Structure 1
Amino acid sequence: MEPSSFGISPLIRLTLLGLYVALTIPLPFLTQVTSAPVPASWLWIGITIGAIALYAALSERVVLDQDGIQVTYPRWVPRWLRPGWVLPWQEVQALKPRSTGQGGLVYYFLTHSGKAYLLPMRVSGFAKLVQQVQQKTGIDTSDVRPLAQPWMYLILLGLTLMLLAVDSWTIWTVWTQGYPSPLN
């Protein structure tokens, strides 16, 4: 088996990064209007750190090869932030579904030693990943489906774009009202 690599779906990555920007970028501008006790510069620092952490989480790669499955991150991502994991095929005993608090299903690899590893479900080529897991483990994966369908992320992306439009209006309003720029 040639090693296969699966990254987070571009649609999911774009949507989550866009939502983060839409939810955080107006905050330093609004500190000017509300006379908030937190300086805008602190918010910019926090927003930047948060963006780096989110980008790190969204840089996850799932690698399947002859020996097993592993979840990895680029070298620049500290191991204490996103450690990743490696699971040899011979350790996999079962793939068990668990319901989420929102009513969805996630799947865990269960090992002979009793450990559980979350099956990455937000990757591009999820069907291919699941097919390769079935080939290597012999576990029936015909009922395994992604946690969220692409149309759900398309709707969230659309709502994020609308929120970004409102954010643009908010920032424009702050600037045109004569408040000092939080970018300085």
Structure 2
Amino acid sequence: MSRQASRFDTKKVNAEFLTLTYGALVTQMLRDFENIEDVNKQLERIGYNMGMRLIEDFLARTSAPRCLEMRETADRIQQAFRIYLNVQPTISNWSASSDEFSLVFETNPLTEFVELPQDLTNLRYSSILSGCIRGALEMVQLDVQCWFVQDQLKGDNVTELRIKFVRRLEDAIPAGED
């Protein structure tokens, strides 16, 4: 007896499952922490830890060589969003020195079924994404700052994530192991 083909689009089901699960996580964190800033920090930290682990999978899947400039890094970040979240943000708003750019999302997959109440306007709901980018880039020796400029949950037309190169990290040898 053969298995019948599924009627569901697995990528869409997986994306919706992620969206709902993430929403439940944020809701529970809002119950557990007294302060919205603590929730923001925890979401960013969770994303950071995820990024530190996802970079290995990304490099194994893509066999991507080391990026030599931020434009290549931006392209790889865009590729990662396509692979892991099935969205492709637009890369735009490059700084004159090419060390800062924006990722613009027409739709943010994390916020598909979300509306923020008035008392949660300071919640950075999608900060897990900025943490993930920071964590992944730190693992490939890039120190960056990452923050939201626009957010559809707060009434903007798009979600814009800004990424700024800070410095290249040097490989460090733990103290006492010279």
- Normalising by structure 1, we get a TM-score of 0.25
- Normalising by structure 2, we get a TM-score of 0.25
